[in-house]
Chains A and B, each alone.
Chain A
Amino acid sequence: MNIDSIKNGIVIDHIAAGRGMKLYRLLNLDALDCTVALIKNVGSRKMEKKDIIKIDADIDVNMDILGYVDQNVTVNIIRDGEIVEKKQIALPERLTNVICCKNPRCITSTEQELPHIFRLTDAQNGVYRCLYCETQAEKTAE
């Protein structure tokens, strides 16, 4: 399978196999007009299999979402066909409107206008909890 290399844009590489689609959805890539490629189950030297997303436009990607879904991804910024920048990903301290609280007793369940905010409460285990009710978010791997 051959995907044209991009001139100006972003390549999100080394996504754990199976999480590419989740990233695609959370990053709202279906709303873009430019060419976007989601490549699944690519053979890789570093990993058994990986997913790759290529975006043929110089857009701002929400790094918090990347960090939350998979902090091992690499982000390459491409200009004129060359990698000009590799971005480091870290677990974000706060996630705003990335995931929703599912606790039916949480204030966010009745007040729709409230932003859904999650805080990183345990960096070692990547645990996020709802700012309002402290319910733990589901692990990203699932």
Chain B
Amino acid sequence: MKSLIDIQDLTPAEIDELIVTANDIIENPKKYSEVCRGKKLATLFFEPSTRTRLSFEAAMYELGGNVMSVSSGASSSAAKGESVADTAKTVSCYADIIAMRHPKEGAPLVAAMNASIPVINAGDGGHNHPTQTLTDLLTISREKGRLDNLTVGFCGDLKFGRTVHSLISALSRYTGIKIVLISPEELTVPSYITTDVLEKNGIDYEQTTDLLSALPELDILYMTRVQKERFFNEEDYLRLKDSYILTPDKLKGAKSDLCIMHPLPRVNEIAIAIDDDPRACYFKQVFNGKIIRMALMMKLLEVHV
């Protein structure tokens, strides 16, 4: 039984296939509205994440299926000490597919090793979140018409941002990719990203602290939040925070077809004034997230149109 735990579980060809299905869903939603009739998705969220859970649930409803939802709470079986393995075996008797979010790294893998139905990792602590990466890839593909030959800038907290690490890994399998890493020195990517991912795959990359000078060459700008708690002292935070906030003024030097992305929720790192700019793609990402989850669940359930 196939599950999705890590974005690397999918080959680039399988990702292309999902993108083709997703584009077709967007064009012909009616064609897909009943394909999962009688199928049940169990969303097991041992950590709250309303937007991810809603995205999975909306995706299953749009395929004509049903949803059973368990969110963490005092009454849940995890609170009673049930193991992830036992939960996976039990839920396999009720549902056809599981989407699991868990605060512990590797929990969805344990579930997949024990379930008799497909398991989708909906985020395990700071480790993996493959459907976010699929969402980002679909967005880039739809906005740019390709996943290769792109200059992609990542800005903000690149040290702790798992969405950033995972998207960099996914993009490093395509040709002609250039990565520009824009962050304060305190929040640069972990060294395994530069050595094991970028250098190992021969990816052209650049590290800078200056968003303004990096902007003109970018096709994609992926923004993340710079959180106050990541800094050792308040002064450093205050000194740096405005440098990584995107404003209409800063965008003047950017390409006219730049695609601005953000995994959301945002706080203040993208000025509201940019929302109306045609280059803002972060709300399209939310929509694309639902669509790619539809395509993914169809694939894992082996449902064909």
Interface residues of A (CB under 8 A from B): 103, 105-111, 113-114, 130-134
A sample of 8 more A-B contacts (CB under 8 A), given A106-B104, A131-B106, A133-B105, is A106-B105, A107-B106, A107-B107, A111-B84, A111-B85, A132-B106, A133-B106, A133-B127
Residues 86-108 of chain B, each 1 if its beta carbon lies under 8 Å from chain A, else 0:
00000000000000001111110
Q: How far is the CA of A109 from the CA of B102 in the complex (A)?
A: 14
Contact A113 B83 (CB under 8 A): yes
Task: Given the known inter-chain contacts A105-B126, A133-B127, please indicate yes or no for A110 contacting B106, CB distance below 8 A.
Answer: no
Contact B106 A108 (CB under 8 A): yes
Q: How far is the CA of A109 from the CA of B124 in the complex (A)?
A: 14
Task: Given the known inter-chain contacts A105-B125, A105-B126, please indicate yes or no for A132 contacting B83, CB distance below 8 A.
Answer: no
Q: How far is the CA of A119 from the CA of B84 in the complex (A)?
A: 21
Q: How far is the CA of A109 from the CA of B125 in the complex (A)?
A: 13
Contact A105 B83 (CB under 8 A): no
Nearest CB in chain A to that of B6: its residue? A134
B36 within 8 A of A: no
Q: How far is the CA of A130 from the CA of B6 in the complex (A)?
A: 14
Minimum CB–CB distance from A138 to chain B (whole Å) comes to: 15
Contact B126 A107 (CB under 8 A): no
B109 within 8 A of A: yes
B110 within 8 A of A: yes
- The residues of A that contact B109 with a CB separation of less than 8 Å are 107, 131-132
Minimum CB–CB distance from A123 to chain B (whole Å) comes to: 14
Q: How far is the CA of A108 from the CA of B124 in the complex (A)?
A: 13
Among A106, A132, A134, residue most surrounded by chain B Cβ atoms (within 10 Å): A132
Q: How far is the CA of A107 from the CA of B121 in the complex (A)?
A: 14
Q: How far is the CA of A113 from the CA of B84 in the complex (A)?
A: 11
Contact B110 A110 (CB under 8 A): no
Q: How far is the CA of A131 from the CA of B124 in the complex (A)?
A: 14
Contact A103 B84 (CB under 8 A): no
Contact B127 A109 (CB under 8 A): no
Q: How far is the CA of A111 from the CA of B88 in the complex (A)?
A: 14
Q: How far is the CA of A132 from the CA of B106 in the complex (A)?
A: 4
- The residues of A that contact B105 with a CB separation of less than 8 Å are 103, 105-107, 132-134
Nearest CB in chain A to that of B83: its residue? A111
Contact A114 B110 (CB under 8 A): yes
- The residues of A that contact B85 with a CB separation of less than 8 Å are 111, 113-114
Cβ 8 A contact of A130, one of B83, B103, B106: B106
Minimum CB–CB distance from B126 to chain A (whole Å) comes to: 7
Q: How far is the CA of A39 from the CA of B107 in the complex (A)?
A: 43
- The residues of B that contact A132 with a CB separation of less than 8 Å are 105-107, 109-110
Minimum CB–CB distance from A136 to chain B (whole Å) comes to: 8
Minimum CB–CB distance from B203 to chain A (whole Å) comes to: 18
Sorted nearest first, the 10 A-B pairs with minimum C-beta distance are A132-B106, A133-B105, A107-B104, A107-B106, A107-B107, A133-B106, A105-B105, A105-B125, A106-B105, A111-B83
Nearest CB in chain B to that of A122: its residue? B196
Q: How far is the CA of A97 from the CA of B16 in the complex (A)?
A: 38
Residues 68-94 of chain B, each 1 if its beta carbon lies under 8 Å from chain A, else 0:
000000000000000111000000000
Nearest CB in chain B to that of A109: its residue? B104
7 pairs, CB–CB < 8 Å, chain A vs chain B = A105-B125, A107-B107, A110-B104, A111-B84, A130-B106, A131-B106, A134-B127
Minimum CB–CB distance from A91 to chain B (whole Å) comes to: 18
Q: How far is the CA of A134 from the CA of B109 in the complex (A)?
A: 11
Contact B125 A111 (CB under 8 A): no
Minimum CB–CB distance from B106 to chain A (whole Å) comes to: 2
Cβ 8 A contact of A111, one of B110, B124, B127: B110
Nearest CB in chain B to that of A132: its residue? B106
Nearest CB in chain A to that of B103: its residue? A105
- The residues of B that contact A110 with a CB separation of less than 8 Å are 104
Q: How far is the CA of A133 from the CA of B125 in the complex (A)?
A: 10
- The residues of A that contact B124 with a CB separation of less than 8 Å are 107
- The residues of B that contact A134 with a CB separation of less than 8 Å are 105, 127
Minimum CB–CB distance from B100 to chain A (whole Å) comes to: 11
